Amino acid sequence: MPETTPTTGPLPRIGFGTAALKGRHGAETIAEALRTGYRLIDSAFNYENEGAVGAAVRSSGVPRDEVIVTSKLPGRHHAHAAALESVEESVYRTGLDHLDLYLIHWPNPSQERYVEAWEALIEARERGLVRAIGVSNFLPEHIDRLVEATGVTPAVNQVELHPYFPQDEQRAYDASRGIVTEAWSPIGRANEMLRDPLLTRIAEGHGVSVAEVILAWHARLGVLPLPKATASERQRQNLAAIDLELTDADVEAIASLARPDGRTHDQDPAVYEEF
């Protein structure tokens, strides 16, 4: 029977995205997010900010065992030895003694090495470098291959997910296998979604912002969103949005916004690759 790789314990209902948060300012922003109440910090090898994440964890005053630090393996390091070295380097960059969750950033299917990368992450977990392992931007067929080859199911699948691209089939697949679905760009990279008339009307009805409605919608679907916010007030608003109760009518209306392919930058994991 396939093994579902354990998480570091129950995951929070919302996390904090860190792309482009670097250096002292990035570390201060992330530390403020931790003090505000975020407990899952999402980073990646390719974000080049794992050092800032580690500094934030140490300076935040939040006990280390309460924080879930995530990073991701870049596509250029899918070979087994390179993948293990990347995980080691991620740990060294943070200055922490381990990472809590490590994901394969993209499957890069034409390279045909993501199973090899997964085997390396399993070894990294066995060595104690990471507590739990998962994937990002993996389609069902990619995850099926991982499980068939290793018997280990990812704990998490982080994908693009927002009202214009709700990923119904992917969410159902993940849920059926005990995989937590996380959402990157949960508010659509601050695009026209924040000015959508329907979302604006729902937000006005609740006396909140459109971003808060979108994050509450994620929570209603059982998805873990990863918004990024540099302003303290926005950080607090996003965190509180998880407890906003949308009506069934709200959720039904938001479902009407789904588009055949609502991806923000045409990054279809079946063909898109990132190194």
Contacts of 177 (CB under 8 A, 6+ apart): 4, 143, 153
What does the alpha-carbon distance between residue 77 and residue 71 come to, in Å, rounded to a whole number? 14
CB 164 within 8 A of CB 257: yes
The token duo for 192 is 């026209």
* Catalytic hit among 38, 47, 114, 173: 47
What does the alpha-carbon distance between residue 106 and residue 255 come to, in Å, rounded to a whole number? 27
Strands (E), the chain: 3-4, 16-17, 40-42, 68-73, 99-104, 130-136, 152-153, 156-160, 180-184, 224-225
- Which region holds residue 89: left if phi is over 0, alpha if psi is between -120 and 50, else beta? alpha
**Cα angle 241, 246, 252; round to 5:** 130
Contacts of 140 (CB under 8 A, 6+ apart): 169, 170, 173
CB 122 within 8 A of CB 99: no
The token duo for 95 is 């200055």
114 is catalytic: no
> Which residues are annotated as catalytic?
47
